[in-house]
Structures are given as structure tokens and as C-alpha cells.
Amino acid sequence: MINKNSPVPIYHQLEEYIKHQIENGALVEESVIPSEREYAEMFQISRMTVRQAINNLVSEGYLKRHKGRGTFVTKKKVEQELQGMTSFTEDMLSRGMNPSSILLSFQITIADKKTALALRIKEEDSVYIIKRIRLADGAPMALETAYIPVKIVPGLTEENSNLSLYQYIEENLALSISEATQEIEASTADHLDAETLEINIGDPILLIERISYLQEGIPFELVKSTFRADRYRFIHTMKR
Amino acid sequence: MINKNSPVPIYHQLEEYIKHQIENGALVEESVIPSEREYAEMFQISRMTVRQAINNLVSEGYLKRHKGRGTFVTKKKVEQELQGMTSFTEDMLSRGMNPSSILLSFQITIADKKTALALRIKEEDSVYIIKRIRLADGAPMALETAYIPVKIVPGLTEENSNLSLYQYIEENLALSISEATQEIEASTADHLDAETLEINIGDPILLIERISYLQEGIPFELVKSTFRADRYRFIHTMKR
DNA sequence: TTCTACAACTGGTATAGACAACTATTCCAC
DNA sequence: GTGGAATAGTTGTCTATACCAGTTGTAGAA
């Protein structure tokens, strides 16, 4: 399980090992994991190295320490779902609704000035522009336009664009998403909004503009959405 | 500077010491701090202990490590302002606007069913109900109604309610605020909204409902706000 | 039977030292 | 000048050890 000659640090190998154990169910939620001294003995490594691995998992929220009692597997990942709520699909699922979407257009074009600025790319760089109607339980919920730099997410096609972009990025490109900013404003429906969302002109709508960033602070997606105000309210928790 | 006989752990003393150095300007933004070995020598402590202090400061965002180069002071603390953005005053200040408010009414009444539920109090418990017009640079920005349980924040009067409620709670009651949830939706102005916000009936407005919680998870404030959509957009950052 | 003291566990703090990996600079050979 | 090696500095990883401080179960005393 642990390879001391690997260039991958031992503490990191142990982190992955424990994570897998949690995901496999070998380590059960809310229950104690082996003590630091046991891990040290088990893999013939120093206790301090074990502590380094466990420290990282604690700060990632997988484990929780209790002096004198032991280290325990954290119970829920509800928090992490909140973070994942940046995607329409996950948002709807967490509300108990069934999400789907209709692809309106998929194109690759040169970024306009404003988009280039938001995505921190050059104006001559190309971007995917993906337009969709987002449905919840079969009823139109939002009109969405996504702008993604081709340079950062190559190989996106009309087919795979329908899957989870976030999953694609994390699994296929080995990048990970760290942060997103959102700007939310109210407006009223124009002719196009009214038609696609099946509401009347002048009805209230919620405009949400989201920019998502990779761990290095690089923007990889700009999404502009128009939500039906009668069906959608934005919910949000702030900590600290 | 470091007291080895103190019950306070050395690494924590060092953390505080370095934090103060940063706040005092003794350690300048973007520049290197003394190396781990220098700190160890300086205070006659082990390098691992220094590393523990620095690790904590790194994860708190004060410092940033660079292998082979040194450890550097992080440049901005803009993030921390985001957390304080739960109050209208701080929100406006952070946007570079000058906030003020007009008190419309201040009363103490029995909570209605819905409010009692949100604040997790009994229906017969009394609450302050404070209505205000919120102005930015002298122009109406929002209509706000706050509901606060008397039991939790006793001694609130028409006079001191105009000061920062958050500051009052943290300083006078020695409680601290840990979390807030917000629900945001779009609507259109009715007669009352139009009059107080100086807009037309049917104009888009942003409805924000916020519940703030103390560290123990006890709700202490419910605020319902109606914002002019032409002047206000809600901005928000999600991490991880 | 009930209580107390202790023993045996847990994680928390701290030390001293070793070597690896990375960065910047200096100096030398070409 | 350019390229490369040597060097000295940095953080990163890892070990082995020690003692402190909470928690829990239990053996023994009352």
C-alpha cells in the first residue's frame, strides 16, 4: 500500500489510502480510524509522517480529531454539495428536482472584449459558446449561455458538452476547481426570454453571472443565466 | 517574545508574533520573511516547531511558501471583507458608497408564525421589528425589515438600533456571529415598493431574505430586504 | 455495590538531525 | 556572451524520540 521508494511523498500516499478507505466504506462515517501509532506500525513509518497525512485530511474535512479518544471519519458531505452547487444539475438535484437541458447552439468563436476580460484571455483567443435551455421536472427554468476558453478545456464537443463539465475537467484534465464568483441581479423578461422560458414580457427574472476558477486562480468558465423568478430563488450560506 | 514556560504552545506564540509583525508592517506584503532556520535560531526552538506555526499561517492565508526561495507575506485580505458583507453598511462601504438610513418604525411585538419558525422561537415570544429605508450616497437603495428576538438581544432601543447590530452583539453581549443563509429572488415593485424606493410600479426588484446565526447555531436576526435592481446587484464568492 | 485510582490508550507539543528538491548566484570554460 | 557546474541558501520530507494532556475501562478498595 505504501511505497517508500516512490517519488510521491509517503504522507501523500497515506492520505490517498485513507481517503479510499473512506470512500470504499472500509472506514465508516462517524467511527474511529486506526490510531496514529497503529498506522506508523502498520506501514513502518514515523508517527510524525502519519500526523502529516492526517492533518491534511482533517483540514480537507474528511477527518476530525479528538484528544484522548481518537480520530474519526466526518459524517456528511452536505457542505461539499453546497460548494458543488455551482452547477445547474447539482443545484436542481439538491432541490429534489429532475434536471435536463435542451442544447440550443454550440459554437467556437473569437472572444469579444468583455468575455476576454472576464476570462483573462486575449481577444483573438477562441472560446466555446454553449447555449442551453435548462429544465427542471420538464419545465423551463433558465436560459443559459456558457463561455469556455478552448485553450483551457480542449476537446469539448457537442456530445460531451452535455455531460458534467466539472467532472470532465477534474477527471480528464486533472485540474481542480477552487472558487467561483457570482453576480446576481433582477430584471424583467424581454421578448426572447419570454419565448424561451414560456413567460410573459415584463415578468421578473433573475440574472446570474458566474465565473469559475481553477486552483491556480485561472478562470475557465463564464456562465450567464436567466432564471424564471416564479420558479427559482437563489439560496446561499455564508460561514464565519 | 517567546515564553517556553507558558502554557500557550510555542508554535502558537510564534504564529501570533508573525501575525503582529505583518499587521504592524514590520513584515511587508509580498516580501520574504525570515527563513525557518533563522526563526529556530532566533528563538532557540526547533525548526519543526517553526514549521508548525508557519503551516498554520499559510492555511489561514497570511503566508505563502516557495520551495527553494522562502516564505512570503500574502498581499491581500480582500477575502475577509466578503465575510463582513452581511450588513448593508459594510456592503455599501466595500462598494465605495456612503451608506445611511431612515428609520421608518421600531416596535416590539409578538412573533407571527412564519417569523417564529425562521428564528426558532415560540410564537408568544416577542421580537423587535425594525423598518428602514437604506440609502447609498443619499439615494434610496433598499427597503429593509429586520426581525430580532428580544430574548437574544435585550436592551435594543430606537437609538442604538441605528448603530451596527453586529458590533453591538459582538462587543456588548460577547456573542459571535458564525453563519448566515440568504435567499434571493427577483420580483417587481408593488405600490409601496415603488413609493419608498422612488421607482415605478412593475420595475424589477431584488428580494433578499437573510437569517444570521450565532456560533451555537442560534438564529438571532431575520432581515427581509427589497433592493432596487437598477442600482444593486448581489456579488458573492464561493470557495472550493 | 459503588467509588476511586490507575493503567493504558488517545492525540498534542516539541526536539534534533538527516537528506531531498528546488532556486539563485557565482564563477569558470568555451 | 553563453552554457554549465559548483555552491549556498531555501523549503520539503522523514525519522526517532520524549513527554504532556485528555479519555476510558477496569481492578481494587471502601
ipTM of the complex: 0.62
Cross-chain Cβ contact B229/A185 below 8 Å: yes
pLDDT in tens, B50-75: 999 999 999 888 899 998 999 999 86
Chain B residues near any Cβ of chain A (below 8 Å): 48, 59, 83, 86, 178-188, 202-206, 227, 229, 232-240
In chain B, CATH 3.40.1410.10 covers 78-235
> Sorting pLDDT into bands at 50, 70 and 90, what band is A85?
low
What's A210's DSSP letter? E
pLDDT (0 to 100) of residue B25: 86
The beta strand positions in chain A, using DSSP E, are: 63-66, 70-73, 99-110, 126-136, 139-149, 177-188, 204-214, 219-228, 234-239
Burial of A121 (0-12, 13-18, 19+ CB in 10 A): buried
Q: Is A85 helix (H, G, I), strand (E, B) or coil?
A: coil
What's A112's DSSP letter? P
- Which comes out higher in pLDDT, residue A142 or B239? A142
Q: What is the pTM of this model?
A: 0.68
Question: Residues 10-49 of B near strand C (Cβ < 7 Å)?
Answer: 10-12, 44-49
- Span CA (B103) to C1' (D9), Å: 63
Residue appearing with cell numbers 446570474: A208
Cell of A128: 466555446
pLDDT in tens, B96-130: 899 989 999 999 999 999 999 999 999 889 999 99
In chain A, CATH 1.10.10.10 covers 10-73
Whether nucleic acid strand D comes within 7 Å of the CB of B42, the answer is no
* Calpha distance B227→B181 (Å, rounded): 17
CA distance to A1, A177, A223, B27, B92, per residue, from A83 (Å): 31, 10, 16, 34, 26
> Sorting pLDDT into bands at 50, 70 and 90, what band is A82?
very low
- Which positions on chain D have an atom < 7 Å from some protein CB? 9-18, 21-24
Cross-chain Cβ contact B229/A187 below 8 Å: yes
* Calpha distance B240→A179 (Å, rounded): 5
Q: CA A1: distance to chain centroid?
A: 30
pLDDT at A104 over 80: yes
pLDDT (0 to 100) of residue A80: 45
Chain B residue at shortest CA distance from A183: B235
pLDDT (0 to 100) of residue A164: 62
pLDDT (0 to 100) of residue A205: 96
Cross-chain Cβ contact A237/B179 below 8 Å: yes
Check: CB of residue B29 under 8 Å from CB of residue B11: no
Radius of gyration of chain B (CA): 23
User: Mean pLDDT over all residues of chain A?
Assistant: 86
Cell of B61: 492565508
pLDDT at A28 over 90: no
B8-34 burial string, b = 16+ CB within 10 Å, else e?
eebbebbbeebbebbeeeebeeeeebb
Please state, as a whole number, how many other Cβ atoms lie within 10 Å of the Cβ of residue A227: 26
Instruction: Read off the pLDDT of each residue in A134-140 and give the average, rounded to a whole number.
Output: 93
* Calpha distance B104→B112 (Å, rounded): 20
Architecture of domain B10-73: Orthogonal Bundle (1.10)
pLDDT at A196 over 90: yes
Nearest to A204 among B187, B232, B240 (CB): B187
pLDDT in 10s for each residue of chain B, 240 residues? 788 888 889 998 999 899 989 888 888 888 899 999 999 999 999 999 999 999 999 988 889 999 899 999 986 544 444 444 567 887 888 788 999 899 999 999 999 999 999 999 998 899 999 999 999 999 999 999 999 999 888 878 776 666 666 666 665 665 666 678 889 999 999 999 999 999 999 999 999 999 988 766 788 899 999 999 999 999 887 765
Q: What's the CATH fold of domain B78-235? A: Chorismate lyase (3.40.1410)
Nucleotide of closest approach to B51 (CA, C1'):
D11
pLDDT (0 to 100) of residue A163: 62
**Which secondary structure element, helix H or strand E, spans residue B219, and what is its range?**
strand B219-228
What percent of chain A has a predicted confidence (pLDDT) above 70? 85
* Calpha distance A179→B64 (Å, rounded): 18
